[in-house]
């Protein structure tokens, strides 16, 4: 005889209208994770996780003034697309047709263009089951949006499980061939968002290769082995020690080629982030082939965090699961092209735990 399912003990998603954030949705499980998601940008604004003593803290960076998500804190916690990361010079050719995208950073297309998914107001509804609680967000990107071809219908499910997991599940459909590459752009600090920098955190990345980039952070040449380089994070290493190695140039903003290569729809481990001071540990699992690691070296204190603390270099770290930068112009990389009749799927799980 099968046992009865566990009671519906999670916190049902609660919606609160906000003039700057769209709607704020709060959800989670008592004693475990609790999240706040905004419909403007399908944005993870907050995530409270317990430390080794059971004391919760918000481990996601976000601006004190939500209006700054339109300027200096634009990508904080947002769902970015249609194409996360960079497309060189905002140009690509698909099936023999050239396309020109909107551009910003140094004349390149970054995170979908000047008016990407992070600026849009997504439709949302609550999701609540015995095992999961959260929000489902939807967006239609019309044909020609930022220069991309085809109508694109996108769904993002942001759910917390009773086992201290935060899962992002993406689906998309199109009526014309188009590149698609979606991710969430949260910055994490497992000491708490106002606790200083993450240089004392330990980071491990399950990658055998990385992508060298030029001064504009556009890929140059082939992917290279991490062995013997500043990008070898196959064993846990203090971020401060990693960034002190020759070749790190004081910070990462690089794509790591995950191993083993993708072959199924089951998320596999990509990285582990650990804060010895609090015992919080975050394991990143994904179906994506790449992980963009950004150690926030360009933060200069301009953005004031939720607690009023200026975010300076190293205040957080972004671990963006995705396909590779500039793949539409790099035939040897895994394809990002979605065609009519196909279904784009991607899943990333953040699994939280603590250590003594």
Q: pLDDT tens digits for 270-285?
A: 999 999 999 999 999 9
Cis amide linkage into residue 157, ω under 30° from 0: no
- Does position 235 have pLDDT exceeding 80, yes or no? yes
**Integer Cα distance of 228 and 221 in angstroms:** 18
For residues 27-56, average pLDDT? 97
Work out the pLDDT band at 356, boundaries 50, 70, 90: confident
Catalytic residue among 38, 108, 185, 254: 185
- Does position 3 have pLDDT exceeding 90, yes or no? no
Which pLDDT value is given to residue 250?
76
Least confident of 6-10, 74-78, 265-269, 298-302: 6-10
- Does position 141 have pLDDT exceeding 60, yes or no? yes
Distances (CA, A) of 199 to 88, 239, 243, 250, 313: 31, 5, 9, 11, 10
Catalytic residue among 38, 45, 320, 323: 320
- Does position 148 have pLDDT exceeding 60, yes or no? yes
Which pLDDT value is given to residue 259?
82
- Catalytic residue flag (residue 320): yes
Residue 235 included in any domain: yes
**Integer Cα distance of 85 and 117 in angstroms:** 13
Q: What is the DSSP letter of 63?
A: B
3-state class (DSSP) for residue 36: strand
Which pLDDT value is given to residue 230?
96
- Does position 9 have pLDDT exceeding 80, yes or no? no
**Phi and psi angles of residue 352, each rounded to the nearest 5 degrees, phi first:** -100, 145
Query: In sequence order, what are the beta bridge partners of 126?
Result: 135
Tokens of 181: 């590459």
- Does position 291 have pLDDT exceeding 80, yes or no? yes
Tokens of 105: 């950073």
Task: Name the nearest CA neighbour of 183 among 91, 264, 108, 117.
Answer: 117
Which pLDDT value is given to residue 4?
46
- Does position 264 have pLDDT exceeding 60, yes or no? yes
Work out the pLDDT band at 11, boundaries 50, 70, 90: confident
Q: E strands within 115-188?
A: 123-128, 132-141, 152-161, 165-174, 178-179, 183-184, 187-188
- Does position 6 have pLDDT exceeding 60, yes or no? no
- Catalytic residue flag (residue 202): no
pLDDT per position as a tens digit, 99-124: 999 999 899 999 999 999 999 999 99
- Side-chain-side CA neighbours of residue 311 (13 Å): 29
For residues 321-338, average pLDDT? 97
Residue 1 included in any domain: no
- Does position 260 have pLDDT exceeding 80, yes or no? no
Residue 17 included in any domain: yes
CATH number of residue 258's parent domain: 2.70.98.10
**Integer Cα distance of 169 and 144 in angstroms:** 25
pLDDT per position as a tens digit, 66-105: 889 989 999 999 999 999 999 999 999 999 999 999 999 8
Give residue 320's domain range. 11-354
List Cβ neighbours of 212 (8 Å cut-off, separation of 6 or more): 219, 220, 221, 224, 254
pLDDT per position as a tens digit, 173-198: 999 999 999 999 999 999 999 999 99
- Does position 8 have pLDDT exceeding 70, yes or no? no
DSSP strand pairing (280-286 vs 344-354): antiparallel
For residues 201-210, average pLDDT? 97
Please list the alpha-helical segments (H only) found in the chain.
239-243
For residues 125-152, average pLDDT? 97
Q: How many domains does the chain fold into?
A: 1
More confident residue, 5 or 45: 45
pTM of this structure: 0.95
Which pLDDT value is given to residue 311?
97
Task: Name the nearest CA neighbour of 83 among 220, 183, 216.
Answer: 183
Residue 58 included in any domain: yes
The two counts, helices (H) then strands (E), for the chain are 1, 30
List Cβ neighbours of 214 (8 Å cut-off, separation of 6 or more): 220
For residues 292-314, average pLDDT? 96
Residue 5 included in any domain: no
Which residue is it, tokens 């606790």? 195
């Amino acid at each position: 005889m099968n046992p009865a399912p566990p009671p519906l003990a999670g916190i049902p998603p609660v919606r609160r209208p906000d003039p700057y954030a769209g709607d704020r949705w709060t959800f989670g499980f008592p004693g475990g994770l609790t999240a706040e998601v905004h419909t403007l940008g399908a944005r993870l604004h907050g995530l409270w996780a317990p430390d080794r003593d059971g004391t919760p803290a918000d481990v996601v960076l976000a601006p004190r003034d939500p209006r700054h998500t339109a300027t200096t804190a634009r990508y904080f916690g947002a769902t970015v697309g249609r194409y996360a990361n960079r497309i060189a010079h905002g140009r690509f050719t698909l099936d023999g047709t050239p396309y020109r995208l909107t551009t910003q950073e140094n004349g390149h297309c970054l995170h979908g263009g000047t008016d990407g998914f992070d600026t849009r107001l997504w439709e949302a509804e609550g999701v609540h089951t015995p095992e999961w609680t959260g929000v489902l967000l939807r967006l239609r990107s019309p044909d020609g949006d930022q220069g991309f071809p085809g109508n694109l219908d996108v769904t993002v499910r942001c759910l917390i499980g009773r086992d201290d997991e935060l899962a992002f599940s993406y689906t998309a459909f199109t009526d014309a061939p188009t590149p698609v590459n979606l991710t969430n752009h949260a910055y994490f600090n497992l000491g708490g968002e106002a606790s200083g920098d993450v240089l004392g955190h330990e980071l491990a990345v399950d990658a055998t290769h990385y992508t060298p980039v030029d001064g504009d952070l556009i890929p140059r040449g082939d992917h290279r082995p991490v062995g013997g380089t500043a990008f070898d994070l196959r064993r846990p290493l203090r971020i401060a020690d990693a960034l002190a190695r020759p070749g790190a140039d004081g910070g990462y903003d690089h794509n790591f080629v995950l191993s083993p290569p993708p072959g199924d729809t089951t998320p596999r481990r990509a990285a582990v982030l650990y804060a010895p001071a609090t015992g919080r540990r975050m394991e990143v699992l994904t179906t994506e082939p790449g992980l963009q690691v950004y150690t926030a070296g360009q933060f200069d204190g301009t953005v004031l965090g939720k607690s009023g603390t200026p975010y300076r270099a190293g205040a957080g770290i972004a671990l963006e699961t995705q396909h590779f930068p500039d793949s539409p112009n790099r035939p040897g990389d895994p394809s990002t092209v979605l065609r009519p009749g196909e279904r784009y799927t991607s899943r990333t799980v953040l699994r939280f735990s603590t250590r003594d």
